[in-house]
Amino acid sequence: MLQYLVFSLSLFGIGIAGLFINRKNIILLLMCIELILLSANTNFVIFAKYWGDIGGQAFVFFVMTVAAAEAAIGLALLVLVFRSIKSINVEDINQLKG
């Protein structure tokens, strides 16, 4: 169980580090958020198995649904932003203010 917790902690650390280090590319920001959600899912599965309760594993499906919706909507917005300003840098999105 400890190995899985270390794995989950490393995923979470990579995701948080990616959010703080990368502040320019929207695609990488979305990928870091997905890593953080994957870390939470891993923890839910680990503790559901450890405690013998299926509630954590059921909750993973809800988190995966939210993650899929976030990815789909985020990428759709990214395509619209790219069409209008021809860039995916976060700093360039400031130009969209009215």
| Residue 41 domain flag | yes
> Which domain covers residue 12, as residue numbers?
2-88
pLDDT tens digits along 7-47 = 999 999 999 999 999 888 888 888 899 999 999 999 999 99
Kindly report the CATH number assigned to the domain that includes residue 34: 1.10.287.3510
Q: pLDDT tens digit string along 45-77?
A: 999 999 988 888 889 999 899 889 988 998 898
Question: How far is residue 54's CA from residue 72's CA, in Å, rounded to a whole number?
Answer: 28
Q: What's the rounded Cα separation, in Å, for the pair 24 and 28? A: 8
In a domain, 67, yes or no: yes
Of 90, 95, 94, give the one whose Cα is nearest residue 26: 90
Domain count across the chain: 1
Closest CA relative to residue 26, chosen from 82, 97, 83: 82
